[in-house]
Structure 1
């Protein structure tokens, strides 16, 4: 049985679609980690591209590209896909950084674990916060939002129409600065309790000089932090849900700036 011949122009336009979709899927926090096999990521990117291509094909320029111009266009599409995924990764980075602050204050500064997603050592509480954020991400079906964002991006920004010299980069820097503010919000309840605990222990050290406050602070801070983390899980879920639901507006704003 002979295989059907695919026109060169159609294959080139599919490569342009695959570049944007593959970069977006490959940079998502759930699929970008080292624990996800490369074969799975490539297969998922190709499958999604095949499903999306009939919808976005009218927005791709129907012409025969020169190899150099095709390479430039594919590179621009890849950068655009990564840029969209970075906006979502900032939320996970904020959750991880907030966990680092909590772990340092509660006495887990030396307790690091290997993060298979980022292939590096991170704080224990950071890994807990990161996994929790991924579970909320999947529970709220936010990964479906990226499929809709792919189609919307072709309607607003067809291939070749992306301009990185505008206000997109300053807007991304604003989101990065907001990541640190979000990390402090994630860790604020635990930090407030630990500050109060340090204040009480300081008073006790003055009242009872023979009390070993340094050794006593470790179990107290760890216990209080774990209790407050358990009591404020609903608050963390609400904050993560609010940030994830705001991704669609951030995507649209990014598309307008590009």
Structure 2
């Protein structure tokens, strides 16, 4: 008769549950995979499928009962690690969205907002447009697979344990958040500079010939100029996005190492 001891059951459960929590936390917070349009069942099923494949390669788990105080603390640790890694990649996409915000303000489209179900708030149209392009590029270059690979690599650098979550990891994540402004401004700088020159020219024209009615032609002109420049920039955005995603994936490893 087939029988299973409590120790065997606990070993099987810990070998699956703790890695599953880390993977699921990433799936819930990472860009594209964590999108709210993706059903929760798909996220849980994909996380479970990856865990079943990866769990036998992770080695021995801590000899701790799953639902003991230390076992629950290990679950919390894995959950926070997965969230931190997911937020690292979210910062990259927020830098892209910041580009749309900067360009939209220069074009006079700061008022053009709609409800974004992903962020549960309103966002500018151009920010959503840039974010959509970034997600398409992310999928085309297999960024989602690279992100999952970076997550699985953290099981070697930061094995499952209860004595992790060091402060350097959170500090690294907080410092990386500054890239939202630096990368967003760098990408939007050509369009913002061109729109600034356009507005200066309109101001000079208004002083030279007030009867032209700059307020009637200013908004259509800046919007047309901005859309034309964005159209010209799209071929050059793809390599820039690829570098941003590579930086984000590398940063996931550094954040994970800071938790040791």
Q: Compute the TM-score of the two structures, normalised by the length of structure 1.
A: 0.92
- Structure 1 window deviating more from structure 2 (160-169 vs 184-193): it is 160-169
Gaps of 5+ in 1: none
Distance 1:61 1:192 in 2: 56
The offset of 1:112, in angstroms, is 1.2
Match of 1:131 in 2: 132
Post-superposition CA distance 1:120-169 (Å, at most 9, x none): 22111011001111011111101111232233111111111663333222
The offset of 1:71, in angstroms, is 1.1
**Are 2:108 and 1:107 equivalent residues in the alignment?**
yes
Residues 219 and 59 of structure 1: CA distance in aligned 2, closer, same or farther (over 3 Å): farther
Match of 1:18 in 2: 20
The offset of 1:211, in angstroms, is 2.1
Post-superposition CA distance 1:13-72 (Å, at most 9, x none): 31101111111111111122221111111111111111221222x052244345221111
Gaps of 5+ in 2: none
Equivalent pairs, count: 256
Tell me the secondary structure at the aligned position of residue 52 of structure 2: helix
Match of 2:48 in 1: 46
Distance 2:34 2:190 in 1: 31
Match of 1:220 in 2: 221
> What does residue range 133-152 of structure 1 map to in structure 2 within 5 Å?
133-152=134-153
Tell me the secondary structure at the aligned position of residue 62 of structure 2: coil
Distance 1:199 1:66 in 2: 66
Post-superposition CA distance 1:178-230 (Å, at most 9, x none): 22111111211110110010111111111102121122111100100000001
Q: Compute the TM-score of the two structures, normalised by the length of structure 2.
A: 0.91
Match of 2:209 in 1: 208
Kept in 1, the 8 Å contact 2:81–2:256? The answer is no
Residues 146 and 207 of structure 1: CA distance in aligned 2, closer, same or farther (over 3 Å): same
Distance 1:102 1:8 in 2: 55
Residues 128 and 80 of structure 1: CA distance in aligned 2, closer, same or farther (over 3 Å): same
Tell me the secondary structure at the aligned position of residue 122 of structure 2: strand
Distance 1:115 1:204 in 2: 38
